[in-house]
Structure 1
């Protein structure tokens, strides 16, 4: 969206337009009201790489914002409950930058609130599996109280047409891992924006794992708002024929001595498999002592696939520890395959070993042994299905 002027840039002297382009990632227009956004055309910066015609019901149509079935096991120090739109935490972590997100915000009746307290380590899984085939909007709040510690797994299965917002709020010195696990059915469409704000000396590990669904778009936006705050954003995705898997990541360093690491890795196989990764990092003028690095790696397994990878870095202060970004997309390393085959391993098995090793870097950092084992098996199943008999 245009604005009246930024960084000393003003409108051209001919005066015909009255606007200049947005110059800083954090200055994008936001609103919780869907009516404030124009129709989605696919030419917008946030939609230009997305198949927008395939989910117009989520961007322009009416959404079912009612409560839905949720499964979870009771864990000490964790509360899972539905709260009204007047809950004070709603809107404290961020606001929509695009129409699908705003449509969900305008439509939900109650928000699912997951509240974590207590210094003892704990793990909880919240599962959604019965969202139906109609267009739906939803809202989730995740609050980690000061000094709390937990691993939270958000598991998504079955069929759905869903647009939603997830707010993640970390109090002082909280340590939280959030795993967003997409194992949707073959026709599912899922558009979700995760907004996180991290307090003083708090640490968020945010993991996105996408293995299922027709169109899945998970966009994490993290604001490091407290001094000494830390975030690690990890992503793993495996796109099969016809799948569109997208991630747009934004890390906003707004406080001094903050740290971020972003690592997303994906594999693509089959005709029409498509992945999109956009990584934006903004180091603000008040973020002295920032230490930041982002990277994206894609492994192309077959012909007919496409991987878009776009890292961006903005720095508004020279007083930083370090900042950088990297991106790479490529096929199998022939030398690795040759080495394995020279040891008596078949070509198909060698390829599976290379892919497992490539993606295991992400799986092994989750911190939940049971989930890590299950994901390794899921990756193996993906590779086995694609290997000729």
Structure 2
């Protein structure tokens, strides 16, 4: 809600996704209660220290495997690139923004394909705030993996700047320990005729909440937003995805798939697509699929689509949550495959569709191995 300019203190609802309040100052946001639209499906008591407490904003311990054409460095808060892709819409993001001392800059240059992995590990249990900027130069190509392992209580912002004609893939890989909490807001700005493939893979952590927002700011921009998650007993995995078509002839595809097993396993997916009045020729589709493996789980799936112009190529959304396909199980078991193995094969086929779109064989193989480990415990 916002104050109405002529209503003597009356309030009117936010009419469109792009109208949400934004600020880099944590004090501009009210304390989190869990009743807010952005928090109502989240276990807010589990991370009150990240939304309201003091955060350590010093440099994170990182391990980088650089490739030629992808370099890492640290930049100050006053760097002109900071805030270019987007600014916080909620208190945890603003708390991290208000706290960080320096931002990690990952620069991608050169037109050849290349891969670099940046691993954050050994962060401990101290509440921390961080900021990362990934900048792809015009016409550059590359794949950047942001990987989290070990213990963490982390709130962070990630800005992704995709220059004109660039083709960038960013993989956010959460493999934290069982008690870790990770809240992340990703902001991407895509320039003319550029393409971003953004992939969120959440496997480890007690509470993991990764919210990517993409601004298709110039003509011909393209985003493919993919997500994969496997929620075990007592685990909360959440993603709120926003795609803003703000220029003509832009394209987006959003596909998130997850599996849930064990008492208290929870997933939340909210997908918002806004097609602005200048975004003629837009081609957009979003979908979320959830596979429930046991009783006692809960999957929330909420697709939203706002269209402000009728001159588009197409737009749509879909959502589905269900159990195993009995026909698939019967087909496999009829060919002599034991039921437990048949179930694993069905789940593996359901999830690996996302993995196979990463486009890097070594990383795909490692993620399939991680999924196999999850399935062995199913």
Residues 1:276 and 2:268 aligned together: yes
Q: State the partner residue of 1:163.
A: 155
Alignment partners' CA distance in 1, 2:261 and 2:81? 41
Identify which of 67, 85, 88 aligns with 2:77: 85
Q: State the partner residue of 1:341.
A: 333
Identify which of 33, 36, 46 aligns with 2:38: 46
Alignment partners' CA distance in 1, 2:298 and 2:42? 13
**Match runs of 1:103-252 below 5 Å:** 103-252=95-244
Alignment partners' CA distance in 2, 1:155 and 1:38? 31
Normalising by structure 1, we get a TM-score of 0.96
**Root-mean-square deviation (Å):** 0.9
Normalising by structure 2, we get a TM-score of 0.99
What stretches of structure 2 of length at least 5 have no aligned partner? none
Q: State the partner residue of 1:61.
A: 53
* Deviation readout 1:16-53 (Å, 9 max, x if unpaired): x5220000000000000000001000000000000001
Alignment partners' CA distance in 2, 1:147 and 1:92? 19
Q: Do the aligned residues in 1 keep the contact of 2:60 with 2:130 (CA within 8 Å)?
A: no
Alignment partners' CA distance in 1, 2:189 and 2:11? 30
Q: Do the aligned residues in 2 keep the contact of 1:192 with 1:217 (CA within 8 Å)?
A: yes
Give 3-state SS (helix, strand or coil) of 1:373's partner: helix
Q: Do the aligned residues in 1 keep the contact of 2:333 with 2:339 (CA within 8 Å)?
A: yes
Per-residue deviation, 1:3: 4.6
Q: Do the aligned residues in 2 keep the contact of 1:3 with 1:21 (CA within 8 Å)?
A: no
Q: State the partner residue of 1:362.
A: 354
Moved over 2 A (4+): none
Identify which of 301, 309, 320 aligns with 1:309: 301
Q: State the partner residue of 1:72.
A: 64
What stretches of structure 1 of length at least 5 have no aligned partner? none
**Match runs of 1:10-49 below 5 Å:** 17-49=9-41
Q: State the partner residue of 1:4.
A: 4
Count of paired positions: 378
Alignment partners' CA distance in 2, 1:3 and 1:228? 36
Alignment partners' CA distance in 1, 2:297 and 2:15? 32
Identify which of 290, 314, 318 aligns with 2:310: 318
Larger mean CA deviation between 366-375 and 308-317 belongs to: 366-375
Q: Do the aligned residues in 2 keep the contact of 1:284 with 1:316 (CA within 8 Å)?
A: yes
